[in-house]
Amino acid sequence: MGKIILLDEITASQIAAGEVIERPASVVKEMAENAVDAGATIVTAEIKAGGIKYIKISDNGCGFDEDDAVIAFDKHATSKIMNADDLFGVKTLGFRGEALASIAAVSDVTLISRGENSDSGFMVNIRGGKLISSSAYASSKGSTFIVKELFYNTPARYKFLKKDATEAGYVADIMQKLAMAHPDVSFKLISDGKIVFHSPGNGDMLSCIHSIYGKEVTSSLCVVNHEQDGAKITGYVGVRDAAYGNRNRQHIFVNGRYIKSKVITSALDEAYKTVTMKNKFPFAVLTVNVNSQTLDVNVHPTKTEVRFADEQIIFRAVYHAIHNALFGEEPGTVQSTEKNVNPWKRQDDIKKDDKQEIKNLLDFVSSAPVPKVPAEKPREVMPAFEPVTMKPETVEKKPVFEQKITYVKEDPAESEKTPLNPLKEEIKAEIKIESEAEIKEEAPVQYETVKKYNDTSIYTDSTVIGQLFDTYIILEYKDKMVLIDQHAAHERIMYERIKTALENSDIHSQQLLLPVMLNLSSAECTFLKQNIEFFEKLGFEIEEFGLNSFAVRSIPMILEGSDIEAFVVDGINKAMQNGKGGLYDDRTVFTMACKAAVKANKHLSDAEIKALLETLTSVENHGTCPHGRPVAVTMSKYEVERKFHRC
Judge whether 634 and 482 are in contact, CB under 8 Å: yes
What does the alpha-carbon distance between residue 423 and residue 511 come to, in Å, rounded to a whole number? 93
pLDDT tens, 123-133? 999 998 888 99
> Looking at the DSSP assignment, which residues form a beta bridge with residue 388?
449
Structural domains present in the chain: 9-198 (3.30.565.10), 220-366 (3.30.230.10), 457-634 (3.30.1370.100)
Closest CA to 387 of 447, 440, 462, 344: 447
Q: What is the pLDDT of residue 525?
A: 93
What does the alpha-carbon distance between residue 357 and residue 499 come to, in Å, rounded to a whole number? 26
Instruction: Reply yes or no on whether the pLDDT at 638 is more than 80.
Output: yes
Closest CA to 298 of 534, 67, 76, 544: 76
Instruction: Check residue 194 and report its DSSP letter.
Output: E
Torsion sign across C-alpha atoms 609, 613, 618, 624? positive
Closest CA to 599 of 465, 464, 469: 469
What does the alpha-carbon distance between residue 484 and residue 385 come to, in Å, rounded to a whole number? 14
Instruction: Check residue 245 and report its DSSP letter.
Output: S
pLDDT tens, 488-514? 999 999 998 888 888 877 678 899 999
Report which residue type is found at 44.
T
DSSP string spanning 78-98? Answer: -SS-SSGGGGGG--SS--SS-
Angle at CA of residue 269, ends 488 and 250, nearest 5°: 110
Instruction: Reply yes or no on whether the pLDDT at 56 is more than 50.
Output: yes
Judge whether 327 and 271 are in contact, CB under 8 Å: no
- pLDDT bin (cut points 50, 70, 90) of residue 159 is confident
* Element spanning 268, H or E: helix 262-271
User: Which tops the pLDDT comparison, 398 or 498?
Assistant: 498
Mean pLDDT of the chain: 78
What does the alpha-carbon distance between residue 385 and residue 239 come to, in Å, rounded to a whole number? 11
Torsion sign across C-alpha atoms 559, 460, 601, 636? negative
What does the alpha-carbon distance between residue 297 and residue 304 come to, in Å, rounded to a whole number? 8
pLDDT tens, 361-387? 555 544 544 444 344 433 333 333 333
Q: What is the pTM of this model?
A: 0.71
What φ, ψ does residue 291 adopt, rounded to 5°?
Answer: -60, 130
Q: Pairing state of beta strands 257-259 and 231-238? A: unpaired
CA atoms within 13 A on the CB side of 372: 4
pLDDT tens, 210-264? 999 988 888 889 999 999 999 999 999 998 778 898 999 999 999 988 988 999 9
Q: What is the pLDDT of residue 441?
A: 44
Q: What is the pLDDT of residue 79?
A: 52
Instruction: Reply yes or no on whether the pLDDT at 118 is more than 80.
Output: yes
